[in-house]
Amino acid sequence: MALPSHAQIVVIGGGIIGCSTAYHLARDHKADVILLEQGKLTSGSTWHAAGLVGQLRSSASITRVLKYSVELYKGLEAETGLATGWKMTGCLRLATNQDRWTEYKRLATTAKSFGMDMQLVSPDEVKRMWPLMDTSDLVGASWLPTDGQASPSDITQSLAKGARMHGAKLFENVRVAGFEMKDGRIVKVRTDQGDISCDKVVNCAGQWARQVGAMAGINVPLQPVKHQYIITEKLPGLATDAPTLRDPDRRTYFKEEVGGLVMGGYEPNPQGWTTGDVPNDWEFRLFDDDFDHFEQHMVQAIERVPGLADVGVKQMINGPESFTPDGNFILGAAPECSNMFVGAGFNAFGIASGGGAGWVLAQWVVDGEAPLDLWVVDIRRFSSLHRDRQWVSDRTLEAYGKHYTIGYPHEEYDSGRPYIVSPLYERLKAHGAVFGSKLGWERPNWFAPTGMEARDIYAMGRQNWFEPVGDEHAHVRKAVGVFDQSSFAKYEMTGKDAQKALDFICANDVSKPAGRLTYTQLLNTRGGIEADLTVARLADDKFYIVTGTGFRTHDLAWISDHIPAGLDAKLVDVTEQFGTLSLMGPNARNVLAAVTDVDVSNAAFPFGHVREITIAGATVRALRVTYVGELGWELHVPIGATGEVFDTLMAAGKAHDIRPVGYRALESLRLEKGYRAWGSDITPNDTPFEAGLGWTVKLKKDTGFLGRKALEKLDNAPLTKRLACFTVDDKEVVLVGRETILRDGQPVGYLTSGGYGYTVGKNIGFGYVRNAGGVDDAFLTGGSYELVVAMERVQAQIHLEPLFDPEGTRVKG
């Protein structure tokens, strides 16, 4: 069949992700789709994948994506007539120590929060389910009965047939050679067999996705890593329906295959492949067997399944898998090119993810926005940092090595640090700062007091920073603290139509006069919250926009993508031009008054205003706003003057008991005040009404804005979910998020964030309470609440108002 000269959508890559995306585009959207594969279908990394299918992740949306995969694989053979090799064997995850057991108790709680039945079973029960295993070192195991395994090649061929049945055209042995671009968009895909004009391109090229993206100026931060597993001869006594097995404390996994075992693992010393281009002709190819490197897994596996010592190895597979710097896969619209979408980097979860990833990616391509909260896998979570090939390689290998390590709360990566530092880095280090990293920026998480080692010691319970962070928290409540928030993403929008553009993009009213600032959400067409930021008006035609560090690429692209055509409005990223010092606490005004000639009284400088003031000879953008529930200002300082301004504040603040404070205290302070965090408490799945932020929406103004139509439909309808605050008195309880909320003994939701409030002396969590019949105040306050924390029920109290009021005069216990 000759290559067509035009298609609505071109999918590049014939592995499981590409075939699934083409299938869903054709089946669900009746799209005109062409799929191009440079070799044969499955010939990249799909054909040599191990084929384990797990479903539970820490995100509700990603868990839903994986659950969809299972449902699809169950019924695909009936639709296409091609078997998928799907077997719902269930999965056992083994625990050999108490920290791992605590992790599983939390995972089982998360599973129940997400509507899945994960059970915790005893070593005796494990032995009954898997008799060939040595269980003498086990504390127990988790058991998810709906997990299973499948044949990667068979699923892909079945999806390919389904795609063809619904009208998609699939072409093998066609290599993409480049793109013809116009105004930042792809207008033609160039191949070795002719050009194809198109409206949209979906890059599902697997380990070649980085190279394909680069042809269009797009960065897809992938690193191929050599991943080995063996297939054994028949193992006597092994049941054909034996559960798949993950043994993370021994870093290995097992699944039954034709009476033998597939066994592989994730070693702490992984072997990356190339940081350059993957050869185009790497079709159905593997690396040479490396038994020396694999021996560490073999030793551990034989200790777990002693019978392996007497069974031959039928085949060793040593092939490259695409991994990412944070262990999450990559989906979505590339920020550099408005009509290229990406589905790649599945970190050996491609088979488990393939069905669901193709489903949501197809919807994303058609609608231009994600159908769910897919932030953890969104390509826009990356930044220019991720163009550094060596950094990506180093961080990806670290992430690979952590694949089976215990997931301690608040754990930080170590590789590639420090990468970006603010001018205060050395000063803060001298104060005992313990840094974390966010999008490459080193940021002080907490400060170790004199005599205490300045480092995190991870634990499942209270960690070593708990008391020092409590001291920082209390200090901000009673005196004044200074936070280095220089990593904030910062943009300027200028032009005579800047206000008109922001009127459409922002849900709140930004049409205030110069000198005012606005806290606002940016909404999608469903009314869900895509961003949460502040907009300060510096002049009639100039706005200063501030958002979170990690959202830099996402929010810049979202705003840019939605500036209405024809308007004179220009958006520029100015993040590195300004350092940011947040001066917060009851004594903040005294300190600021001592370093500037400007009147900073409440009458002259009220809340929600912005002024340019001079400190230490530098012109500073001072924003009267707070994220901690105290009097305060964000001081946006020319980056070169940040050190001098900090020193001036510290010197003047000495009389007012100033001290530097970190992000851990900031989190605790914001929980008490009830401030929402985007990505957890508020997401694209949540509307402002549900989040208790209806006051930020300008529905009373006759201004069209993105998401307005969806919100108008919801405005007078009863809400079926609402965000609420919960407290737990028991100080030994540790809330980390995703704990199940019980109302009168029945599950009604789960926590979106959790922590400790040192002023109120309680654990604090936020979460959505759901009820199909409506969630009004009477329903919320009319029930008795518990939280399920690591599978244990604890009493909780619900609160509909902040625990801490703006003036700090009233604490609610």
Cα 234 to Cα 308: distance, rounded to the nearest angstrom: 10
Q: What is the pLDDT of residue 30?
A: 97
Distance CA 117, CA 115 (A): 7
What span, in angstroms and rounded, lies between the C-alpha atoms of 602 and 631? Answer: 10
SS3 187: strand
The mean pLDDT of 473-495, rounded to a whole number, is: 98
> Using one digit for the tens of pLDDT, what is the confidence trace for 489-536?
999 999 999 999 999 999 999 999 999 999 999 999 999 999 999 999
Residue in the structure block whose two tokens are 């279908």: 41
| pLDDT digit string, tens, across residues 398-425 | 999 999 999 999 999 999 999 999 999 9
Pairing relationship of beta strands 6-12 and 33-36 according to DSSP bridges = parallel
Global pTM? 0.96
When mean pLDDT is compared across 59-63, 683-687, 760-764, the lowest value belongs to 59-63
Task: Using DSSP, state whether 117 is helix, strand or coil.
Answer: coil
Q: Which residues contact 494 (CB under 8 A, 6 or more apart)?
A: 541, 542, 543, 569, 570, 572
* Residue-averaged pLDDT of the chain: 95
pLDDT, position 148:
84
Strand residues in 478-577 grouped as ranges (E): 480-484, 489-494, 517-523, 529-539, 542-547, 570-573
pLDDT(394) > 60: yes
pLDDT on residue 806:
55
Q: What is the CA radius of gyration of the chain?
A: 27
Q: Which residues contact 560 (CB under 8 A, 6 or more apart)?
A: 571
Q: What are the Cα distances from residue 642, in Å, to 354, 527, 619, 639?
A: 47, 38, 11, 5
**Residue 678 backbone dihedrals phi, psi, to 5 degrees:** -70, 140
Q: Which of 7-16, 272-281, 334-343, 485-494 has the lowest mean pLDDT?
A: 272-281
Going by their DSSP bridges, the two strands 91-95 and 140-144 should be labelled as antiparallel
Region class of 622: left (phi > 0), else alpha (psi between -120 and 50), else beta: beta
Confidence of residue 233 (pLDDT cuts 50, 70, 90): very high
Question: What tokens appear for 413 in the block?
Answer: 């990566």
Largest Cα separation within the chain, whole Å, is 85
**Which pLDDT belongs to residue 87?**
84
Write down the CATH superfamily of domain 718-799.
Aminomethyltransferase beta-barrel domains (2.40.30.110)
How confident is the model at residue 242, as a pLDDT? 94
The answer on pLDDT for 812 being more than 60 is no
Q: CA-CA distance, 545 to 552, in Å (whole number)?
A: 11
The pLDDT assigned to 25 comes to 98
Residue 675 phi/psi, 5-degree rounding, is: -75, 135
| Alpha helices by DSSP H, 410-532 | 425-430, 466-478, 498-505
Domain 6-84+150-223+326-381 has CATH 3.40.1390.10: no
- Please answer whether residues 65 and 54 qualify as being in contact, where contact means their C-beta atoms are separated by less than 8 angstroms: no
Among residues 92, 97, 91, which one has the least CA distance to residue 137? 97
The whole-angstrom separation of Cα 582 and Cα 629 is 13
- Please compute the mean of the pLDDT values over residues 790-813 and round it to a whole number: 77
d(CA 623, CA 534): 10
The residues, ordered by sequence, that sit 6+ positions from 32 with a Cβ below 8 Å of its Cβ are 7, 8, 9, 167
Cα dist from 169 to 35, 83, 712, whole Å: 6, 21, 41
Give the closest residue to 422 by CA, choosing from 409, 406, 435: 435
Q: Are 443 and 549 in contact (CB under 8 A)?
A: yes
Residue 603 pLDDT > 50: yes
Instruction: Report d(CA 407, CA 100) in Å as an integer.
Output: 9
How many residues would you count in the chain? 813
Question: Domain residue spans in the chain?
Answer: 6-84+150-223+326-381, 91-145+224-314, 489-575, 718-799
Instruction: Determine the pLDDT at residue 560.
Output: 97
As to burial, measured by CB atoms within 10 angstroms (0-12 exposed, 13-18 middle, 19+ buried), residue 256 is buried
Return d(Cα 276, Cα 274) in angstroms, integer.
5
CA trace torsion 216, 222, 226, 230 (10° rounding): -100
- Dump pLDDT digits (tens) for 90-145: 999 999 999 999 999 999 999 898 888 899 999 999 999 999 999 999 999 999 99
Would you say residue 808 has pLDDT above 60? no
Distance CA 583, CA 415 (A): 31
Report the pLDDT averaged over residues 324-337.
96
User: Residue 662: its pLDDT value, please?
Assistant: 98
The CATH homologous superfamily to which domain 489-575 belongs is Aminomethyltransferase beta-barrel domains (3.30.70.1400)
Question: Helix, strand, or coil here: 511?
Answer: coil
Q: Are 208 and 176 in contact (CB under 8 A)?
A: no
Buried b / exposed e along 103-118 (16+ C-beta atoms within 10 A): bbbbbbbbbbbbebeb
DSSP β-bridge partners for residue 808: none
The 3-class SS string of 82-106 reads: CCCCCECCCEEEEECCHHHHHHHHH
Supply the CATH classification number for the domain 91-145+224-314: 3.30.9.10
Mean pLDDT in residue range 476-499: 98
